[in-house]
A and B are shown apart, each in its own frame.
Chain A
Amino acid sequence: MRRIESVFAKPAHKALIAYLTVGYPSIEATLELVPALVGSGCDMVELGIPFSDPLADGTTIQRASYRALQQGVTPESCLEVAQELRQKVDSPLIFMSYYNPLLHYGLEPFCCACAQVGIDGLIIPDLPPDEGMELERLTERYQLDLIYLLAPTSSEERIGLVAARSRGFIYLVSLSGVTGARDTLPAQLEGFVAKVRRITSQPLCVGFGISTPEQARRVAKVADGVILGSRIIEILESSDQPALAVGSFIKRIRDGMTPREAANGM
């Protein structure tokens, strides 16, 4: 069983997935933060490869990407970070990258390198399945999961397309918009998850905008996983002891996701 699949095979367990921009605030910080995230209750970590033109991202991740690029982070150095992290954690590690850096690296060399360092999957926000044939072939060959996204604007036809082609899980974008912490999630969120659920039995993880334990609880009630990104970067921006601060945030989120009865019983 692949690592990502095994996370969703745990009975009655909701996945908690955290995003970090590699090299923000520094490479050393990323190497320290990922084990802290896993130790605090994260099931998987998305490692963001910074890109100069992150058009699906809001200001928080734009800032982090810019800082990381200024420090010279490249796809090459992200692969090195992943290799080092693989010695420290057993959880699935997923690269989140825009398409151009991968294309420029060479799709096959990149997939091959991912497999070698122990990366489990790829999320490419600007690569819909319509354009993903070649990368799908390569990720299959190197046993990587290519995770596609769905949005509230996706038609039933597109939900069917993504459901047939996504591997590992499907990333549901909670709202029409870019990444970034939001005070409220859309009222239609449950309806959106249910609509996708009717079409596919793949695991469904929801991201974009989630920033509080209450929001995570609401999402965990209907979805198989919760994805957190911008809020984590915000904590890194404002804390003197980022690993501690992020760790305690993740614990609160994990507590929020656990059903009350189970929490009481412990």
Chain B
Amino acid sequence: MADKERQKQGLRTKKELPDELGRFGQFGGRFVPETLMSALEALEEAYREAQRDDDFQRRLATLLRDYAGRPTPLYYAAKLTEHCGGAKIFLKREDLAHTGAHKINNTLGQGLLAERMGKRRIVAETGAGQHGVATATVCAMLGLECIVYMGEEDIRRQSLNVFRMKLLGAEVRPVASGSQTLKDAINEAIRDWVTNVDSTHYLLGSVVGPHPYPMMVRDFQSVIGREARQQLLEATGRLPDYAIACVGGGSNAMGLFHPFVDSEVKLVGVEAAGVGLDTGKHAASLVAGSIGVLHGTKSYVLQDRAGQIRETHSISAGLDYPGVGPEHSYYKESGRASYVAVNDEEALEGFRLLCEKEGIIPALEPAHAIYYTTRLASQLSKEHIILVNLSGRGDKDLDIVAQTLGVHL
């Protein structure tokens, strides 16, 4: 299929997807226990009502501005551009949003929605802790009870964020089952939701899970791409050649990509290759996985020959997930976006470069995207523009980076 034709398809599908069954082509859907079906139907209805409600939209816009600090800046990374010697690199500074990552865009939206539905108890999962912190933050502000499930392995490597959540009044429940990471935290959050479905909203943090989550989280995160599009037009008079973001579950990438789907902009998602794709110790569901059903949605997953979900590895807890949002799977299949993988060592190289060249300490998740961007930029001429989503700041990762470099703090 010609690129043009694919992009036309992208244009056609943007407004229509997901369909009424929550599907993006063959992906998505609602693969959940019957107990949750009515709650998902009610959530979808409440969300669609809120979308049409001017008061809701105004309140969300005000909080995004006054509380989260939006719009976040678009920054021309002159020194990094110079270092690469090619395409101009622009960073969308989601690291400057309140709580230090893009996660707040979604937690504000869903927090307001939970309040609107009369659900005063919030459960959430977290990997790196960024979504947990953003959820605890919004719950504190709205006066909602907050319980965050977090794998014991992640609690060990993200102790600072655990402390932040507790300061914000959330209860952090350790998850000891399975690989003790994000996927197990999601299992446990879903079990809690099944048990307390009448009183509780599950504030899912990525574009994964059963319909309507992939659509709803995408919509709340699309503010990233809408702002960046306008900011880049103002700064350069044109759209970028590439939009690049890291992909774990894929919310920051979808938030950046979606407003560009109807354009000619090339979209590239960067997954975690961990120790290396050939070692099996990675988290690259789109690059190295196959189609399956995990956490209520049909998408690419990492699984073994018997259909068991595989344990994953990435230096970055936020990318350490064996599934990915169904809309990304759809983009991969339709060719609208391409997906690549960057390993732990390369991500650290991207991390170091941004520190040294720009004075910005990125989170390890977007460090994957930064690394890929520097490689791509150096192969392109100076007329090209790359827009990359700097989805979070790196304070939370200093321990693990120090450890990897053999530095004792």
Contacting pair A104 B37 (CB below 8 A)? no
Contacting pair A126 B296 (CB below 8 A)? yes
Contacting pair B303 A104 (CB below 8 A)? yes
CA distance A155 to B35 in the complex (A): 10
Beyond A151-B34, A151-B35, list 14 extra A-B contacts (CB 8 Å): A53-B294, A55-B33, A56-B191, A99-B31, A103-B292, A104-B303, A104-B307, A128-B32, A128-B37, A153-B35, A153-B37, A153-B198, A176-B197, A178-B195
Stretch at the interface among A29-37, A68-76, A234-242: A68-76
Contacting pair A103 B198 (CB below 8 A)? no
Q: Does A127 contact B (CB under 8 A)?
A: yes
Contacting pair A126 B183 (CB below 8 A)? no
A125 / chain B contacts, CB cutoff of 8 Å: 33
Q: Does A177 contact B (CB under 8 A)?
A: yes
Contacting pair A151 B33 (CB below 8 A)? yes
A227 / chain B contacts, CB cutoff of 8 Å: none
Residues in B189-205 with C-beta less than 8 Å from chain A: 190-191, 194-198
B294 / chain A contacts, CB cutoff of 8 Å: 53, 100
Q: Does B224 contact A (CB under 8 A)?
A: no
Contacting pair A149 B307 (CB below 8 A)? no
Q: Does B306 contact A (CB under 8 A)?
A: yes
Q: Does A67 contact B (CB under 8 A)?
A: no
Contacting pair A154 B34 (CB below 8 A)? yes
B313 CB to nearest chain A CB (Å): 16
Number of interface residues of A (CB under 8 A): 40
21 CB < 8 A contacts A-B: A54-B187, A56-B33, A56-B191, A58-B191, A69-B308, A104-B292, A105-B307, A126-B31, A127-B31, A128-B33, A131-B29, A131-B30, A131-B31, A152-B35, A153-B39, A154-B38, A155-B41, A173-B34, A176-B196, A177-B194, A178-B191
Contact with B along A91-127 (1 / 0, CB 8 A): 0000000011111110000000000000000000111
For A100, A125, A162, the residue with the greatest tally of chain B CB atoms inside 10 Å of its CB is: A100
Q: Does A148 contact B (CB under 8 A)?
A: yes
A69 / chain B contacts, CB cutoff of 8 Å: 308
Contacting pair B307 A103 (CB below 8 A)? yes
Which residues of B line the A interface, CB within 8 A? 21, 29-39, 41, 177-178, 183-184, 187, 190-191, 194-198, 290-296, 301, 303, 305-309
Contacting pair A55 B195 (CB below 8 A)? no
Which of B35, B38, B292 is close to A100, meaning CB atoms less than 8 Å apart?
B292
A26 / chain B contacts, CB cutoff of 8 Å: none
Contacting pair B37 A55 (CB below 8 A)? no
For B177, B194, B307, the residue with the greatest tally of chain A CB atoms inside 10 Å of its CB is: B307
CA distance A56 to B33 in the complex (A): 7
Q: A75-B307, A126-B33, A173-B35 are in contact. Are A55 and B293 (CB under 8 A)?
A: no
Contacting pair B194 A162 (CB below 8 A)? no
Interface of B is mostly: mixed
CA distance A227 to B292 in the complex (A): 29
For B31, B184, B296, B301, the residue with the greatest tally of chain A CB atoms inside 10 Å of its CB is: B31
B350 CB to nearest chain A CB (Å): 31
Which of A56, A104, A153 is close to B306, meaning CB atoms less than 8 Å apart?
A104
CA distance A111 to B29 in the complex (A): 22
For the complex of A and B, 3 pairs with smallest distance between CB atoms: A104-B307, A101-B307, A151-B35
B297 CB to nearest chain A CB (Å): 10
B64 CB to nearest chain A CB (Å): 32
B292 / chain A contacts, CB cutoff of 8 Å: 100, 103-104
Q: Does A188 contact B (CB under 8 A)?
A: no
Which of A58, A75, A99, A130 is close to B293, meaning CB atoms less than 8 Å apart?
A99
CA distance A211 to B335 in the complex (A): 52
CA distance A104 to B303 in the complex (A): 9
A153 / chain B contacts, CB cutoff of 8 Å: 34-39, 197-198
CA distance A69 to B33 in the complex (A): 22
For B35, B190, B293, B294, the residue with the greatest tally of chain A CB atoms inside 10 Å of its CB is: B35
Contacting pair B307 A102 (CB below 8 A)? yes
Residues in A136-169 with C-beta less than 8 Å from chain B: 148-155, 158, 162
For A99, A150, A153, A154, the residue with the greatest tally of chain B CB atoms inside 10 Å of its CB is: A153
